[in-house]
Structure 1
Amino acid sequence: MLSKRSATVQDAGSVVNIGFDKCVANPYDAESNPNGIINAGTAENTISYDIVAEKLFTVEQPSKNDIDVLKYQDFTGLSAFKNTLCSFLTKHAKAHDQLDPDKLFVVNGCGSCITALSIVLSDPGDAWLLATPCYPAIKEDVGKIPLTEIVHVDLCSQTSGENGKPFQLTVDKLEDALEQATQKGINVRGLILINPHNPLGDIYSKELLMDCLHFAKRYQLHVIVDEIYMFSVFDDDAEFTSVLSLEDLPDPDRTHFAWSFSKDFSMSGIRCGVIYTWNTDVASALAGVAYWFAIPTAMQVTLNSMLCDEEWVAQTYLQTNRKRLRDAHEVMSKGLTKLGIPHLVRSAGLYIWADFRKLVSPLTFEAEMEVFYELIDAGVYITPGQGFYCKEPGWFRIVFALPRDIQDQVLHRIGTYFEMRRKR
């Protein structure tokens, strides 16, 4: 009874969804359900909800006389909101030039940014290069509606060279992946960069970012730079370079920016993302599909009022959130170290990439799933590496952007499980 297309859009039951569903079915609550499952697998910033909630309830809301919010508006975004977003990103992303509202698009979430760009930049059957391990839903973002594929650029934990680090992206790895895909007859249309990276927490240096952009120019590839964690860089000494800030983009007509409020402003449920493109033809094409990606006018009015309070954005929210993330990361990192669990210590994101390989025996993806399910039975959901297309079994992503008492419970439950596992 269903169309052939329906098979491509139905949920395949990934480990990410399995863990989330189990948390929803049996959520932890210190008082009402202390034996429930703690969600340390979904990348949500829960430690700054209070700041955002207080602001959203006090900013200017559409009034009963503001009838315009009930009418059709520009599906690319309200003019006032787009102007505010351009000012906000120009300032806080340190954009080289003042952003142009005609090249900025408001869509319903960062996933929709990737989908909309994939629709206008690629054809069904085309492919995108993506370094893995990676945020897994991008496969769905480019696959379910645009009907394109992902070509994995597999990164590994082994280091090479004097300054090498685990899971390091290099242009040589991009070259190899592109060559292999081409030999298989795959038409690679572009490259997707996630910076800061999910799940690694890496921040790409300006040099690496430029190298990747020059690589893309050589092969006439589009580049989508997903900077959804750009304001979740919590180490004061870390240097983040937004693609918006680059003075000499190698190929501006094929370079596109994506961001949303979901992570950096603790608003996953608000569903508001932003696309910026330097290409006027791409901008025209995005305007043609904007109808399907629009967000409610009233929500744009509310978010616009929030961003217009520049003192609150800079001094109250971003500054406080950065400190809270830094403190929470330190708690989780020290806790994992005390438990003897190796992990990458990075400066951005809401999560830690942890090495559970000594616990996964034999070192297979099947055994990794066994550990995943046993941890859920122990009352904590963390995401196994295979959920991020990691080529090496035994790695897990642990979200640390949790209240301190929840973090303590996560560490306690993982520690108890480790001890039980060691005694087998």
Structure 2
Amino acid sequence: MHQLMGGSVKFDPSNMVLTAGATPAIEILSFCLADQGNALLVPTPYYPGFDRDVKWRPGVDLIPVHCRSSDNFSLSITALEQAFSQARKRGVKVRGILISNPSNPVGNMMTQDMLYSLLDFAEEKNIHIIADEVFAGSTYGSKKFVSIAEIIDSEYIDKSRVHIIYGLSKDLSLAGFRVGVIYSYNNNVLAAAEKLSRFSSISTPTQRLVTSMLSDKSFIQEYFETNRNRIREAHDAFVEGLSELGIKCAESSAGMYCWADMSGLIRPYSEKGELELWEKFMSDAKINITPGSACHCIEPGWFRICFTTIALEDIPLVIERIRRVVESCKSSS
């Protein structure tokens, strides 16, 4: 994490709890910060796995904070205020905000000013912030990723409210190794998380392999640079191919996916129409993409398409399959 951020942040190992991937890290923090029936605010669209990680066993609810395409699905404090106030009117206790930065599925990143505003909001409402930063190193745009860890050195900020999640599955392509970490400034949370992590331990063989790999700093740096270049190349090729079909994507700077607007292809303009288009991609094009409704997107017709699961030379084949579906939708309408 220190190397990923160019040495700008020093991380204290005593503030870390290792877990078998980011999934149990989110679940553990849900157990630590909230009781059953409490809630976390989460900007939409959001990673569908959050529903599983936060709701299934911890029993914590997720309250969507709806963001819209007109703002490139960026979060606003006004939207947070509204969601918080509505939850309080319903008698729901909000215990924190769960963000993914860089965003999954949109691929945009929070600005430094927005992170400061989030911290102010959390302090005002007496709630916590869980920052999922698993795509921190998978950037390809001109914008620099800013970790929340970089901006909390100010004296007035209550660090005990901030909890960061990271893992090796995305930036180092080690999904099957199941290596994640909770980084918290709250001693009580760390103590509880350490006990709960006993049920999601990283295997000893994995620890030995990963320790050896991470110790080779020159390799890690070279890997990050190579990976970023490859993601950028795949992203540009895929987005260009979609653009030629009349499909626009949200502006993004990170991640292994694009957030594509196919609202013009759905009939009716609703979740039903969106799911029918998703089924058409599955049955006719043999392509599985994530419908926006699975990410709690308030606007029908948006889809997340992962472009790093295929080789660069196979992108034209996928674009051709998408073209056939697009033409079929246009002819039928």
Do they superpose with TM above 0.5? yes
- Corresponding residue number in structure 1 for 2:188: 281
Cross-structure match for 2:132: 226
C-alpha distance in 1 between matches for 2:304 and 2:9: 36
Deviation at residue 121 of structure 1 after TM alignment = 1.1
1:308-327 to 2 correspondences below 5 Å: 308-315=215-222, 317-327=223-233
Could you say if the C-alpha distance between residues 421 and 98 of structure 1 is closer, same or farther in structure 2, counting changes exceeding 3 Å? closer
Partner Cα distance (1:95, 1:205) in 2: 19
Structure 2 counterpart of 1:66: none
Shift of 1:96: 5.5
1:417 has 2:325 as partner = yes
Secondary structure at the counterpart of residue 228 of structure 1: coil
Contact 1:156 1:391 in 2 (8 A): yes
TM-score (norm 2): 0.96
In structure 1, distance between residues paired with 2:74 and 2:11: 31
**Quick check: 1:375–1:414 contact (8 Å CA) kept in 2?**
yes
2:74 to 168, 186, 211: 168
Q: What's 1:244 paired with? A: 149
Aligned pairs (5 A) from 1:312-391: 312-315=219-222, 317-378=223-284, 379-391=286-298
Unaligned runs of 5+ in 1: 1-88, 160-164
Larger CA Rg, structure 1 vs 2: 1
Which among 38, 48, 60 is matched to residue 148 of structure 1?
60
Q: Does 1:130 align with 2:42?
A: yes
Secondary structure at 2:130's aligned position in 1? strand
Secondary structure, counterpart of 2:177 in structure 1:
coil
Q: Distance in 1 between matches of 2:37 and 2:143?
A: 39
Q: What's the C-alpha RMSD, in Å, of the aligned pairs?
A: 1.3
Contact 1:95 1:244 in 2 (8 A): no
Q: Which amino acid aligns with 1:340?
A: G
Note the C-alpha offset of 1:95: 6.3
* Shift of residue 411, structure 1, vs aligned partner: 0.6
8 Å Cα contact 2:72-2:251 kept in structure 1 = no
Q: Share of identical aligned residues, percent?
A: 34
| Per-residue CA distance 1:190-233 (angstroms, 9 max, x = gap) | 00111000011111011101111110111110110000100001
Residues in 2 aligned to 1:193 and 1:100: alpha-carbon distance in whole angstroms: 22
DSSP-derived class of the 2:117 partner: helix
Query: 1:345 Cα deviation (Å)?
Result: 2.8
Q: Does 1:182 find its partner at 2:88? A: yes
The SS at the match of 1:413 is helix
Q: How many residues align?
A: 328
- Partner residue of 1:98 out of 3, 7, 10: 10
SS in 2 for 1:105: strand
Worse-superposed segment, 191-200 or 343-352: 343-352
User: Gapped runs of 5+ residues in structure 2?
Assistant: none
Within-5 A mapping of 1:292-311: 292-311=199-218
Equivalents in 1 of 2:278, 2:314: separation in Å? Answer: 19
